[in-house]
Structure 1
Amino acid sequence: MAAVSVTGTAGIQEPCTLHEQDVSASPDLQLLCRALGMSPDPVNKLQIPDFNFLQEMAKLPVDLTAIPGGTDVQAMRHWIDNVFLQGPLAEYRARCDIQRRRPGTRIDVKEVSVQCSDGSQDTFNIRVYDPQIEETISKRQLRPAILMFHGGGWIHGNSRGDEIASTIFAADLGAVVLGVDYRLAPEHPFPAPLEDCSEAIAWTIRNAETYQIDTSRIALWGASAGGNLAAAASIKHSRERSVTGYPSLRLVNLVVPVTAHPKAQAAFNERRLCKRSNIEETVADVPPAPEQVVKEFETLYELYVGNSTDIYDHLASPLMAQDISQHPQTHITVAACDYLMPQGLAYAQLLRSFGTHVTEEILAGVPHGFTFPLNAAVTKRWLENQRDIFMAAFSSADA
């Protein structure tokens, strides 16, 4: 199984082999498919389940049926803290055998408390991954920085969930990686999480000298709901630059991002002005999300935006943005078996219509949570490619 890459408006690079073995030969893997929201016999070939991915999922030391519903705030927080981030599952995932460029690099990790910018007395934490590369440190060379916005439906999760990727990026890229523990909904609804992400960018720029950061090489990375925050924060940053005087972001890297409330997505489709991309046409026959999935997604969004926010606000649903000028180059990863795939691809095309350089990457045969089994071949290749995408952006002469 391989990724499908799209660069600008170029054609699709089809994988030679989408899967290693027919999933229908294994009843257990068929059940796993359905548990992950995947069809063992899909209409579109890009959704043919990745056999290796399913095998690696089956190896995980966790009862997938015991994972709480995504909108159960307290139960999900408990599961993340006590199952995902520690114990057998966390230990298993930490043993991933990603090919490393600087495997022996020491990473200093520390938590920094940052004052929220909304006038409250609240604070949020930034988890700083500081690579101790002697040549860079001793010569006071400026380094790139990556701000990581974790997923979790805006209601759970923290930066430690992305620790493996954070340490790989820090070591192999020589970058200062900053995991942003923004305040969570529903206790802190929109715009609080977004304001924290924006303040994290500003804090990074203000403290660039302390961490030897090159402010012209700051990138954002966000997954799922974190992708929503990264998308909105980059729009906000771009529009406020004339006032703040801050440099442009070098790259915005969105992974299976949420770009719109379902109703906002429907409104975008009804009045869409930008033409569909080639890859959108390729997946046009993919069935829409089941009604129950849509309802749960709407409930999750309502937990985020609260009662006072318009779901069509472009900072809550970036797909509704009317003008995104001066937006930094963007890379978007979508999973072919993820119900969020259409809105991720639509957002790529929307950005492109405003002049942004955009690349897309479709991972065939995997669902939204494709990073769960880090030893799956598709996940390892994707993570290595993420590193290469950052490296190319940081090496570019374009500011």
Structure 2
Amino acid sequence: MRSSPDDSRAIDEAHAADEPHPEVRAVIDLLESMDAPSLTDLSPEEARAATEAMVRDSDIDVARVEDRRIDGPVGEIPIRIYDPAPERAADGAESRPTICYVHGGGWVVGSIDGADSTCRTLATETGYPVVSVGYRLAPEHPFPAGLEDCYTALEWTARNVDELGGDRDRLVVAGDSAGGNLATATALLTVRRGGPSVAYQVLVYPVTGDASETESYDAYGDGYLLSTAESEWFRNHYFERELDEWNVLAAPRLASDRLLSSLPPATVVTAGFDPLRDDGAAYADRLADADVPVTCRNYPDVIHGFFGMLEPPTELTVAHEAHADVAADLHGALE
């Protein structure tokens, strides 16, 4: 759904199906059968170890994948570069849009490895190089440390875009969940600082404000992978001061229309059975109110995290469909 001030509201369009898709129900049952503890019962270190233990090597082939480390505000930032067609960069062919991708994990868990399947699929579906960012995690590095790393990675991508076979006028910021929050906050930060110009945003079930004030937060906060208790656990670790929760770089839904109007077009992806569904939809409406072109894509029969469920044993058909939809949005906007 293309949203504008005169169209139907995204918050009205976002909804859940009567039941989760059978593939989704099978994934929920599989995860529940593992009887893993809730993240709220673990320390951040234990939560990271448990999350990373579930990461498997990807079978999704990409022509070139390269790990690097770049200079950051404090120490080095790991990045991983995915290029689906490196010969294009080598032979001087026409440059492509370039995606700077930020993984999810509530600002506390998650990693480049955890986002590997997502970035591989995004690169192969779009045909664009992808730079995946390993930003610093909370609570050791609370807001805005991870955001500063993402901004630094975007600056690096812009400086090195020729090497990537990319186009500095067609930079994309993208991310899922907390990564969606950091992606759009990076776009806001680059406006404030006069940094690299961002041409498009892909925000997958992003955190954009206080989700607890929305209907979906109460309706789907238990039994659908992400719980409201875990959402609060993440927020409590990310924010060192209560005041930070009101910073528009942490809660972009609170930004003024004037500030939001400086942002590039966006695709906002939501999931029907996701406590964050209405938060993402409300942000899409805020962007539309600020005259930012927004494509809203709600997938009514899936759960939070579905965009990364691309390989067995948690592979979802709709995850591949969503990647194809996002690629179509990018091609339509940037080519």
Distance 2:306 2:147 in 1: 25
Letter aligned with residue 250 of structure 2:
A
Q: 2:123 aligns with which of 137, 161, 170?
A: 170
Give the paired residue count: 320
Q: Deviations over 1:276-325 (max 9, x none)?
A: xxxxxxxx799556699545423321211113742111111111112312
1:253 aligns with 2:197: no
**Equivalent in the alignment of 2:66:** 110
Q: 2:50 aligns with which of 79, 85, 95?
A: 79
Q: 1:324 aligns with which of 260, 265, 273?
A: 260
Report the RMSD for the aligned CA atoms in angstroms: 2.9
**Equivalent in the alignment of 2:249:** 315
Q: Structure 2 vs 1, CA of residues 285 and 336 (structure 1 numbering), >3 Å: closer, same or farther?
A: closer
Q: Deviations over 1:44-91 (max 9, x none)?
A: 76352212322355567x844215425731222112222x22xxxx26
**Equivalent in the alignment of 2:94:** 141
Distance 2:235 2:216 in 1: 26
- Aligned pairs for 1:119-130 (under 5 A) are 120=74, 122-130=75-83
Q: Report if aligned partners of 2:3, 2:285 keep a CA contact under 8 Å in 1.
A: no
Q: 1:228 aligns with which of 181, 191, 196?
A: 181
Q: Structure 2 vs 1, CA of residues 337 and 326 (structure 1 numbering), >3 Å: closer, same or farther?
A: same
Q: 1:345 aligns with which of 261, 265, 281?
A: 281
Identity of aligned pairs, percent?
Answer: 28
Range that drifts further, 323-332 or 145-154? 323-332
Q: Any gaps of 5 or more consecutive residues in structure 2?
A: none
Range that drifts further, 50-59 or 206-215? 50-59
Distance 1:288 1:258 in 2: 17
Distance 1:108 1:191 in 2: 32
Distance 1:206 1:109 in 2: 19
Distance 2:162 2:147 in 1: 25
**Equivalent in the alignment of 2:25:** 54
User: How far apart are 1:379 and its partner, in Å?
Assistant: 1.7
TM-score by length of 1: 0.72
Range that drifts further, 353-362 or 107-116? 107-116
Q: Structure 2 vs 1, CA of residues 45 and 209 (structure 1 numbering), >3 Å: closer, same or farther?
A: closer
**Equivalent in the alignment of 1:155:** 108
Distance 1:139 1:373 in 2: 35
User: How far apart are 1:377 and its partner, in Å?
Assistant: 2.2
Q: Structure 2 vs 1, CA of residues 172 and 335 (structure 1 numbering), >3 Å: closer, same or farther?
A: closer
Q: Any gaps of 5 or more consecutive residues in structure 1?
A: 14-43, 97-102, 270-283
Q: 2:171 aligns with which of 189, 197, 218?
A: 218
Letter aligned with residue 261 of structure 2:
S
User: How far apart are 1:209 and its partner, in Å?
Assistant: 2.5
Q: Report if aligned partners of 1:107, 1:171 keep a CA contact under 8 Å in 2.
A: no
Distance 1:301 1:201 in 2: 24
**Equivalent in the alignment of 1:279:** none
Q: Report if aligned partners of 2:24, 2:303 keep a CA contact under 8 Å in 1.
A: no
User: How far apart are 1:164 and its partner, in Å?
Assistant: 2.0
**Equivalent in the alignment of 2:36:** 66
Letter aligned with residue 50 of structure 2:
W
Q: Please give the secondary structure, in 1, of the residue aligned with 2:130.
A: strand
**Equivalent in the alignment of 2:232:** 298
**Equivalent in the alignment of 1:197:** 150
User: How far apart are 1:6 and its partner, in Å?
Assistant: 4.6
Greater radius of gyration (CA): 1
1:377 aligns with 2:298: no
Distance 2:162 2:246 in 1: 39
Runs of 4+ in 1 over 6 A off after TM superposition: none
1:367 aligns with 2:296: no
Range that drifts further, 62-71 or 253-262? 62-71
Q: Please give the secondary structure, in 1, of the residue aligned with 2:97.
A: strand
Letter aligned with residue 327 of structure 2:
R
Range that drifts further, 343-352 or 207-216? 207-216
**Equivalent in the alignment of 1:35:** none
Letter aligned with residue 19 of structure 2:
I
Distance 2:189 2:216 in 1: 34
Q: Report if aligned partners of 1:249, 1:328 keep a CA contact under 8 Å in 2.
A: yes
